[in-house]
Amino acid sequence: MDVIVETSGIRKHFGPVRAVDGVDMAVRTGEIYGLLGPNGSGKTTLIRLLVGLLRPSGGSARVLGRAVPDKAILAQVGYMPQANALYEDLTVRENIAFFGEMCGGVSRHRVDELIALVDLSDRADSLVRTLSGGMRQRTSLACALVHKPRLLLLDEPTVGVDPQLRVAFWDYFRQLARDGATLIVSSHVMDEAERCDRLGFMRQGRLLAEGTASDLREKAGADTLEEAFIRFAERGLEGGQP
Amino acid sequence: MSARRIFAIARRVMRQILRDHRTVGLLLVVPTVLLTLGAILFRAEPAPMSLGIANRDQPVAVPMAARPIAIGEQIAAQLAADGMFRVRDVSEGEADALLRDGSVQGVLVFAPDFSAQFVRNRKVVLDLRLEGSNPGRSAAIAARVTQAAIRALAGMAAGGSQGAEPPVTLNATYLYAGPQFDTLDFVAPVFLGFLALFFVFLLTCVSFLRERAQATMERLLATPASRAEIVLGYMGGLGLFALLQVTVILCFTIWVLKIHYLGSLALLFLVIALLAVVAVSLGILASAFARNEFQVVQFIPLVIFPQVLLGGTIWAVEEMPSYLQPFAYVVPLTYANRALRDVMLKGWRLGDIWPNLLILAAFAVVLTLLGVRTMRRDVA
């Protein structure tokens, strides 16, 4: 499998804060890559670097074969920010259609298809302002998918989502990966990580470890991912190197 | 009721405001600046007006008088002594051209038989040619010229002949507009401009701020949409609303308030559309420096009021004290106001007002470029 996202020593500093502090990672086409770590570990900054919303302070990243930031990749990238980032005074359908237009225009049919997919057919013409948190999250996901991107960058897509919907989201992510898309999904919920093909543990702007869930458990000699994370974090502190 | 809670709330509110240094600065500095500006404009001696005198009057020799009678010369001398005017000699033929380019605001013409008429009829008819687009100024010039004539004739009367006050009639003709135009007609064109600037500026500021606050800007920038496309889209959408608003206001002023106007309404819309584009770019630029809606509101005294005071909205730029005039030329509203008045009060066409439109367009381009720059992708 070829590599679709590759970073080498990428860094982003905000003044004295080292939000991302030298990350080397590689994501292969068609896999679901989970970025796992607590709040403030640099997951969001890393994703924003990959989208090209931030310019790296150092190091570099290649996404879809081009050095970021590069506007040219964005037609093939779907980005779901952590905040809902929707137009509150537009309807679900209008929001999805608008972001479709921004990505070069999509058919009415495609918009309807997405509305059905995120199970919002009965609320399609409701203003986003009137929706619950979970419905907004689903609308936001639909907006990120509207142009059938090859690469999806989802920043905590399941935060605040009820368990039933979370399962539906993950089934759908798997479906997208089977259809050839690549997904990078950040989360701070360990049990979600089991559903990723490969994982990256992030802490304090660094990548502690990378591998499949079972790999990571084995390497750490731990029974659960949570335990594995803690072990890696401790090792990282002891050795000074991740 | 707990005094302690009330006190705690008051202290918290004060602490929040004090933490926002810019607000504190604005609360103190902006009113002072605006009051100073207002005081200067209200109190200042207006800059003198240029009056052209075309004197072809032939002195008339009268048997009883020691010297020939030259009324035209007498009135000209009175006017030259009046501090309100800067008098210059012009020829009757160049009067309209001088009025048009603004180098004189009025031309007083003395026909060759001016004195002869006075000797024969014992009265004077003043032939005053006015520029006409500023009713207040026209009235002031007419009044001062009439007074000067009365003084001149009074001097003559003391010199001999009859005691009764010599009658003076003023026959004013206008290059533009005319006596039926009043102050409302003078203010209405620029009021349209002001409303467009004000509302489009506020709308842009708040929409952009929301776009940033709700992170939709971030999402928009993560699509292939470029910053230029976003800015142009805003201009299109908000500009259209400005025109809609202007249409309604214009219909109201024309049919209900019955203002007088001369020029083409299509051209008026062009000027307003251009001003709306300037307002959008100004709004985008300003929104980058506001963290919340409260700070957007603070931009009104900072960005809008000085433009209104300096831009010739109420006080014509030429009548402002000369040290304030340079400031008028750095605010875009000045050029919009000029173009709007030229169209509505003088009936000027595109061929006449294009320099002002060009300057407005230049403002729009520069402000847009600055605005696009502030939409940094590097947002922490």
Block residue for tokens 């009265």: B123
- B235's tokens: 């201009």
The Cα of A76 is separated from the nearest Cα of chain B by a number of Å equal to 9
Q: Which residues pair with B107 in a beta bridge?
A: B52, B129
Do the beta carbons of residue B371 and residue B201 sit within 8 Å?
Answer: no
What average pLDDT does this structure show over A149-160? 90
Of A178-187, A191-200, B292-301, give the lowest mean pLDDT range: B292-301
Supply the ipTM of this predicted assembly: 0.89
A242 band by pLDDT with thresholds 50, 70 and 90: very low
Inter-chain CB proximity B224 and A51 less than 8 Å: no
Contacts (Cβ under 8 Å, ≥6 apart) of A165: A134, A137, A138, A158
State which residue of chain A sits closest to B216, comparing Cα positions: A85
**% of chain A with per-residue pLDDT over 70:** 97
**Most distant pair of Cα atoms in chain A: their distance:** 56
* pLDDT in the model for residue B71: 87
Cα Rg, chain A, nearest whole Å: 18
Which residue of A79, A86, A88 is in closest CB contact with B222? Answer: A79
First-to-last alpha carbon distance for chain A, in angstroms, is 26
For the stretch A12-21, pLDDT in tens is: 999 899 999 9
Do the beta carbons of residue B170 and residue B139 sit within 8 Å?
Answer: no
Angle at A47 between CA A43 and CA A48, to 5 degrees: 115
Do the beta carbons of residue B303 and residue B297 sit within 8 Å?
Answer: no
State which residue of chain A sits closest to B377, comparing Cα positions: A53
**% of chain A with per-residue pLDDT over 90:** 62
Of A66-80, A224-238, B131-145, give the lowest mean pLDDT range: A224-238
Angle at B65 between CA B61 and CA B69, to 5 degrees: 45
Inter-chain CB proximity A53 and B214 less than 8 Å: no
Instruction: Please say whether the dihedral angle defined by the alpha carbons of residues B269, B274, B277 and B281, taken in this order, is positive or negative.
Output: negative
Which residue of A51, A53, A87 is in closest CB contact with B216? Answer: A87
Helix (H, G, I), strand (E, B) or coil at B129: strand
pLDDT at A220 over 50: yes
Residue in A45, A71, A127 to test binding to B, most B beta-carbons within 10 Å: A71
Inter-chain CB proximity A77 and B222 less than 8 Å: yes
Q: Which residues of B touch A51 (CB under 8 A)?
A: 222
At B85, give phi and psi (nearest 5°): -115, 150
Looking at the complex, does the CB of residue A69 fall below 8 Å from at least one CB of chain B?
A: yes
pLDDT at A233 over 50: yes
Inter-chain CB proximity A74 and B222 less than 8 Å: yes
pLDDT higher for A49 or A242? Answer: A49
Distance between CA atoms of residues B327 and A232, nearest Å: 65
- Long-range own/partner contacts, residues B308-314 (CB < 8 A, 24 or more apart): B308/B194, B308/B333, B309/B34, B309/B37, B309/B38, B309/B41, B310/B37, B310/B334, B311/B190, B311/B336, B311/B337, B312/B190, B312/B337, B312/B338, B313/B187, B313/B190, B313/B191, B313/B194, B313/B337, B314/B41, B314/B187
Distance between CA atoms of residues B166 and B213, nearest Å: 75
Do the beta carbons of residue B378 and residue A55 sit within 8 Å?
Answer: yes
The Cα of A51 is separated from the nearest Cα of chain B by a number of Å equal to 6
The Cα of A135 is separated from the nearest Cα of chain B by a number of Å equal to 17
DSSP strand pairing (A3-14 vs A58-63): antiparallel
pLDDT at A132 over 80: yes
Distance between CA atoms of residues A208 and A234, nearest Å: 10
Inter-chain CB proximity B221 and A84 less than 8 Å: no
Helix (H, G, I), strand (E, B) or coil at B1: coil
Select, from the ranges A123-127, B72-76, B142-146, B154-158, the one with the highest average predicted confidence (pLDDT): A123-127
Inter-chain CB proximity B378 and A55 less than 8 Å: yes
Looking at the complex, does the CB of residue A83 fall below 8 Å from at least one CB of chain B?
A: yes
- A111's tokens: 């918009």
The Cα of B377 is separated from the nearest Cα of chain A by a number of Å equal to 5
The Cα of B191 is separated from the nearest Cα of chain A by a number of Å equal to 31
pTM of the predicted model, to two decimals? Answer: 0.82
The Cα of B208 is separated from the nearest Cα of chain A by a number of Å equal to 12
Angle at B81 between CA B78 and CA B85, to 5 degrees: 100
Distance between CA atoms of residues B99 and B92, nearest Å: 11
* pLDDT in the model for residue A144: 94
pLDDT at B163 over 70: no
Residue in A20, A102, A106 to test binding to B, most B beta-carbons within 10 Å: A102
Q: Which residues of B touch A71 (CB under 8 A)?
A: 224, 226
What average pLDDT does this structure show over A100-106? 89
State which residue of chain B sits closest to A104, comparing Cα positions: B224
Residue in A45, A99, A131 to test binding to B, most B beta-carbons within 10 Å: A99
Inter-chain CB proximity B377 and A86 less than 8 Å: no
Inter-chain CB proximity B216 and A86 less than 8 Å: yes
Q: Which residues of A touch B215 (CB under 8 A)?
A: 81, 83-85
Inter-chain CB proximity B215 and A85 less than 8 Å: yes
* pLDDT in the model for residue B376: 64
B150 burial level (CB within 10 Å; 0-12, 13-18, 19+): middle
* pLDDT in the model for residue A197: 93
Residue in B208, B214, B223, B226 to test binding to A, most A beta-carbons within 10 Å: B223
What average pLDDT does this structure show over A168-172? 89
pLDDT at B345 over 50: yes
pLDDT higher for B174 or B21? Answer: B174
In single-letter form, the type of residue at position A29 comes to T
Q: Which residues of B touch A55 (CB under 8 A)?
A: 377-378
The dihedral formed by the CA atoms of B79, B80, B86 and B89, expressed in degrees to the nearest 10: 90
pLDDT at A236 over 50: yes
* pLDDT in the model for residue B165: 61
pLDDT higher for B377 or B256? Answer: B256
- B40's tokens: 């200067």
* pLDDT in the model for residue B340: 92
A1 band by pLDDT with thresholds 50, 70 and 90: low
**% of chain B with per-residue pLDDT over 70:** 96
Inter-chain CB proximity B214 and A69 less than 8 Å: no
Among A185, A146, A141, A31, CA closest to B224:
A146
* pLDDT in the model for residue B38: 87
What average pLDDT does this structure show over A43-49? 94
